């Protein structure tokens, strides 16, 4: 009977975690982020390759995963949401299993895992690099904790596999967490003399390297382009941000106060254990506590340097759940339990309202989401998406502009390139619009800007793509404007005309 209850709880947890992300992922649109992997997943499905066919500094594994979901479930909005919703549900189950292995009561396991699922992927709701990188890193951490506890081949093997997927979703925070885990695994080896983990970890690493080499060879990706796009250019951006980094109290302390509060019990009992008994430094509990604490600090550091909307409040139920499972108090156990449960419920409710209901991560806090319209009015492939954007209070006006733009692009039989935040147009129109980038940001993060390092390489890449695809017309859709191509081509080498309020056509001349 007990096992049946656990199965029922896990089934309910999976369904709720899936449904929560699916529901909130469809509420409102922030085009540049909402559709980050929509067209690119479609392009991969049709034979295109990141790095080679579009400038991709992040999200390689996400594009390939999304192409599989499109293949199985069809190219539509529903398939797009199934992807992150399934990850959210799987993560919630992994957390439930982890807490259960540490002998936490099954109902508490359900409570903390459910709070985690509410705060995890739903903040974005759609496939997003920071979330994929963080959550696959978290799976690596969960498997590392279970590997230390049970010392099984299965767990050790999947630690590097999950970290590989995380890193090629986005370099950070995965890179920081991988370095952290390498340090602790070396320390673990020195302290425990356990060598059983070495073989499965090395096998996992070897398979990762084999997959990476096979990817580069099969997709015929230039190694120099790969290094520039995925390593050198992002590293230059990271160095700039670290050099400009400061830690104001409001940003580094008060903003993450509930995460720090959640960490407090683990910090206290870790320090207390070390002071009382030096052999605690060699214990399983020490490894568990310190790995979770430093994983949390890695994510806080990542938020500080990326300067994106915060999405890491899922750490609160994760840390609190593990604290509840691992710290055994006697005299004050009941009071400690009430504190953990109250803190988890309060913080989860607070950040659920802010990031899920108000869609803060997607910049929709000041937008009346109740005015949204069904995006199937643009195209049936977008059925289920409730469309409202921060740029337009009137969704109908934006619909008319987008539909007029689509009609114009459909009628054009030329080889065209489209620069837009509406990265679903290839799917709707049914042809490759040769977008040179995944994102068109103005801050120099998604591609090198003029007078920045690696801009000459990007300029050559852009021009080579135009020649390779025989493009003679480039379209820009507001808020992307003519500045996006002025730095690539001389002004005398293209002629611009306005098609509608947001669409501009740039005809290339032979001097290009």
Q: At what angle do helices 106-119 and 315-326 cross, to 10 degrees?
A: 160
Asked if omega into 479 is within 30° of 0 (cis), the reply is yes
305 and 261 co-located in one domain:
yes
Query: 105 in a domain, yes or no?
Result: yes
Is residue 90 domain-resident? yes
Question: Are 412 and 356 members of one domain?
Answer: no
Domain count, the chain: 2
- Whether 175 maps to a domain, the answer reads yes
**Of 362, 394, 413, the domain-final residue:** 362
Residue whose token pair is 């400009």? 244
Same-domain status, 476 and 438: yes
DSSP output for 26-67: TB---HHHHTTTHHHHHHHHTT--BTTTBB-SS-HHHHHHHH
Torsion sign, CA atoms 355, 294, 65, 309 = positive
Residues 230, 236, 240, 242: is their CA dihedral positive or negative? positive
pLDDT given at position 248: 62
In a domain, 416, yes or no: yes
Tokens encoding 409 = 């692009």
Residue 108 has a pLDDT of: 95
Cα–Cα distances (Å) from 194 to 63, 148, 317, in that order, read 38, 10, 31
Report the pLDDT value the prediction gives residue 249, as an integer from 0 to 100.
56
Cα–Cα distance between 129 and 168 in angstroms, integer?
9
- Read off the pLDDT band of 330 (50, 70, 90): very low
- As given in the structure block, the two tokens for residue 146 are 């279970």
Residues 163, 270 within the same domain: yes
Same-domain check for residues 348 and 451: no
In terms of domains, do 404 and 437 share one? Answer: yes
For residues 383-402, average pLDDT: 94
Instruction: Tell me which of 229-233, 239-243, 441-445 is least confident.
Output: 239-243
- In this structure, the answer to whether residues 444 and 492 fall within a common structural domain is yes
Q: Which two tokens stand for residue 298?
A: 């890695």
Confidence label for 328 from pLDDT (cuts 50, 70 and 90): low
Residues forming beta bridges with residue 78, ordered by sequence position: none
CA dist 227 → 173, 221, 320 (Å): 19, 10, 40
In this prediction, residues 10-17 reach a mean pLDDT of 98
Which of 340, 362, 384 terminates a domain? The answer is: 362
Edge-to-edge order in the sheet of strand 416-419: 416-419, 473-477, 503-508, 494-498
Q: Considering the entire predicted model, what is its pTM?
A: 0.96
473-477 vs 416-419, strand pairing mode: parallel
Burial class (CB in 10 A: 0-12, 13-18, 19+), 328: exposed
Tens of pLDDT, residues 67-76: 999 999 999 9
* Across 357-386, average pLDDT: 95
State whether 295 and 193 are in the same domain: yes
pLDDT at 1: 63
Give the whole-angstrom CA distance, residue 477 versus residue 485: 12
Closest CA to 33 of 398, 438, 367: 438
State yes or no: pLDDT of 224 exceeds 90.
yes
Cα(140)–Cα(353) distance, rounded to whole angstroms? 29
Confidence band for 305, pLDDT divided at 50, 70 and 90: confident
Kindly state whether residue 60 falls inside one of the protein's structural domains: no
Q: Which of 210, 180, 115, 102 is nearest to 146 (CA)?
A: 102
Please report which residue ranges of 151-256 form alpha helices under DSSP H. Answer: 153-167, 171-192, 198-218, 223-227, 233-243, 249-252
According to DSSP, the β-strands at 416-419 and 386-387 are unpaired
Query: Does the pLDDT of residue 331 top 70, yes or no?
Result: no
Q: What percent of the chain has pLDDT over 70?
A: 96
Is 142 domain-assigned? Answer: yes
| Mean pLDDT computed over every residue of the chain | 93
Tell whether the model's pLDDT for residue 245 goes beyond 80. no
Instruction: Identify the pLDDT of residue 241.
Output: 77
- In this prediction, residue 275 carries a pLDDT of 93
Residue 20 predicted with pLDDT over 60: yes
End-of-domain residue from the set 362, 385, 416: 362
Tens of pLDDT, residue by residue over 79-113, are 999 999 999 999 999 999 999 999 999 999 999 99
Tens-digit pLDDT profile for residues 126-172: 999 999 999 999 999 999 999 999 999 999 999 999 999 999 999 99
How far are the Cα atoms of 116, 125, 317 from residue 35, in angstroms, in the given order? 25, 11, 29
Listed range (178-182, 259-263, 326-330, 487-491) with the worst mean pLDDT = 326-330
DSSP 495: E
Residues 398 and 353 in one domain: no
Q: Is the dihedral of CA 62, 65, 69, 74 positive or negative?
A: positive
- My answer on whether 358 and 389 are in the same domain is no
- Checking phi first, is residue 308 left (phi over 0); if not, alpha (psi -120 to 50) or beta? beta
pLDDT digits (tens, 9 = 90+) for 194-219: 999 999 999 999 999 999 999 999 99
By the 8 A CB rule, do 86 and 132 touch? no
What pLDDT is recorded for position 443? 82
249 three-class SS: helix
**Residue 388 region by backbone torsions, left for phi larger than 0, else alpha for psi between -120 and 50, else beta:** beta
Range of the domain at 390: 375-508
Q: How confident is the model at residue 509 (pLDDT cuts 50, 70, 90)?
A: confident
Which of the 8 DSSP states describes residue 442? S
DSSP 365-413: TTS-GGG-EEGGGT-GGGTT-EE-BTTBS-HHHHHHHHHHHHHHHHH--
Same domain, residue pair 229 and 298? yes
User: Distance between CA 481 and CA 463 in Å, rounded?
Assistant: 18
Residue 327: both structure tokens together: 């710290």
- Whether residue 48 lies inside any domain: the answer is no
What's the confidence (pLDDT) of residue 250? 57
Tell me: do 291 and 324 sit in the same domain.
yes
- Identify whether 297 is part of a domain: yes
Where do runs of H (alpha helix) occur along 219-283? 223-227, 233-243, 249-252, 257-276
């Amino acid at each position: 009977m007990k096992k049946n209850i656990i199965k029922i709880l896990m089934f309910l947890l999976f369904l709720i975690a899936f449904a929560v992300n699916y529901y909130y992922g469809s509420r409102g649109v922030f085009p540049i982020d909402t559709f980050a992997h929509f067209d690119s997943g479609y392009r991969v499905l049709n034979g295109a390759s990141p790095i080679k066919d579009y400038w991709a500094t992040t999200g390689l594994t996400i594009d390939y995963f999304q192409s599989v979901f499109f293949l199985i479930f069809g190219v539509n909005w529903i398939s797009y949401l199934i992807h992150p919703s399934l990850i959210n549900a799987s993560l919630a189950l992994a957390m439930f299993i982890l807490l259960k292995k540490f002998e936490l009561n099954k109902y508490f396991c359900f409570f903390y895992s459910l709070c985690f699922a509410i705060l995890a992927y739903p903040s974005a709701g759609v496939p997003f690099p920071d979330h994929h990188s963080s959550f696959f890193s978290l799976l690596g951490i969960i498997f590392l904790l279970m590997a230390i506890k049970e010392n099984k081949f299965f767990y050790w093997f999947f630690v590097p596999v999950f970290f590989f997927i995380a890193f090629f979703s986005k370099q950070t925070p995965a890179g920081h967490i991988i370095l952290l885990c390498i340090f602790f695994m070396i320390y673990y080896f020195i302290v425990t003399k356990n060598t059983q983990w070495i073989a499965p970890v090395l096998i996992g690493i070897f398979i990762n390297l084999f997959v990476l080499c096979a990817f580069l060879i099969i997709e015929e990706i230039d190694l120099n382009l790969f290094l520039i796009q995925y390593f050198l250019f992002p590293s230059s951006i990271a160095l700039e941000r670290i050099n400009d980094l400061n830690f104001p109290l409001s940003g580094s302390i008060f903003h993450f106060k509930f995460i720090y509060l959640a960490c407090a019990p683990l910090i206290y009992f870790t320090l207390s254990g070390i002071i009382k008994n030096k052999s605690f430094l060699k214990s399983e509990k020490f490894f568990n506590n310190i790995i979770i604490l430093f994983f949390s600090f890695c994510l806080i550091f990542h938020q500080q340097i990326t300067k994106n909307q915060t999405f890491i409040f899922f750490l609160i139920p994760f840390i609190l759940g593990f604290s509840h499972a691992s710290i055994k108090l006697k005299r004050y156990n009941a009071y400690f339990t009430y504190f953990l449960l109250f803190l988890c419920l309060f913080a989860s409710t607070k950040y659920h309202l802010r990031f899920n209901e108000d869609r803060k991560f997607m910049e929709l806090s000041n937008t009346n989401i109740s005015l949204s319209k069904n995006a199937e009015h643009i195209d049936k492939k977008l059925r289920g998406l409730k469309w409202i954007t921060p740029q337009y209070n009137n969704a109908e006006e934006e619909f008319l502009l987008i539909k007029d733009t689509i009609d114009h692009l459909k009628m054009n039989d030329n080889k065209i390139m489209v620069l837009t935040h509406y990265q679903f147009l290839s799917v709707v129109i049914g042809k490759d619009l040769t977008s040179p980038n995944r994102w068109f940001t103005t801050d120099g993060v998604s591609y090198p800007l003029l007078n920045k390092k690696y801009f000459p390489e990007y300029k050559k890449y852009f021009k080579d793509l135009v020649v390779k695809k025989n493009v003679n017309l480039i379209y820009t859709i507001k808020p992307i404007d003519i500045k996006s191509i002025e730095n690539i081509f001389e002004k005398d080498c293209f002629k611009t005309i306005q098609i509608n309020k947001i669409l501009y056509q740039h005809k290339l001349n032979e001097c290009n």
